[in-house]
Amino acid sequence: MAESIGIVGARGHVGADLIRLIAAHPRFKLAFVSSRELAGQKLADHIPQYAAKNPDLRYSSPSHEELPGLGADAVVLALPNGKAADCVVAFDAAGADPVLIDLSADYRFDDHWYYGLPELTRAGYHGQRRISNPGCYASAMQLAIAPLLNVLEGPVQCFGVSGYSGAGTSPSDKNDPEKLRDNLMPYALTGHMHEREVTRHLGHPVEFMPHVAAHFRGLTITSNLHLSRRFDREELVEHYHRHYDGEPMVRVLDEAPWVSRIAGKHHVDIGGFTMSEDGRRVVVVSTLDNLLKGAATQALQNLNVAFGFDELTGIEIDPA
**pLDDT tens digit string along 268-278?**
999 999 999 99
Confidence check: pLDDT of 128 > 90: yes
Architecture of domain 136-290: 2-Layer Sandwich (3.30)
Q: Angle CA(285)–CA(288)–CA(294) in degrees, nearest 5?
A: 130
**What is the identity of the amino acid at 215?**
H
CATH among 3.40.50.300, 2.60.120.1440, 3.40.640.10, 3.40.50.720 for 3-106: 3.40.50.720
Verify whether residue 136 is a known catalytic residue.
Answer: yes
What's the pLDDT at 318? 82
Q: Is the Cβ–Cβ distance between 11 and 38 less than 8 Å?
A: yes
- Supply the mean pLDDT for the chain: 96
The DSSP code sequence of 246-279 is T-TTEEE-SSPP-HHHHTT-SSEEEEEEEE-TTS
Confidence check: pLDDT of 170 > 90: no
**pLDDT tens digit string along 82-109?**
999 999 999 999 999 999 999 999 999 9
The percentage of the chain sitting over the pLDDT mark of 90, rounded to a whole number, equals 94
Q: Is 319 in a helix, a strand, or coil?
A: coil
Any alpha helices (H) in 175-294, and if so which ranges? 177-180, 193-202, 233-243, 259-262
What's the pLDDT at 172? 85
What's the pLDDT at 240? 98
**pLDDT tens digit string along 31-60?**
999 999 999 999 999 999 999 999 999 999
Within 10 angstroms of residue 71's Cβ, the number of other Cβ atoms is 12
pTM higher than 0.85 for the full model?
yes
Considering the candidates 136, 144, 236, 315, report the single residue annotated as catalytic: 136
β-bridge partners, 275: 282
Q: Where are the domains of the chain?
A: 3-106, 136-290
Q: Is the Cβ–Cβ distance between 213 and 162 less than 8 Å?
A: yes
**pLDDT tens digit string along 185-225?**
999 999 999 999 999 999 999 999 999 999 999 999 999 99
CB contact set of 1 (below 8 Å; sequence gap of 6+): none
Q: Dihedrals φ, ψ of 74, to 5°? A: -145, 150
What's the pLDDT at 74? 98
What's the pLDDT at 208? 98
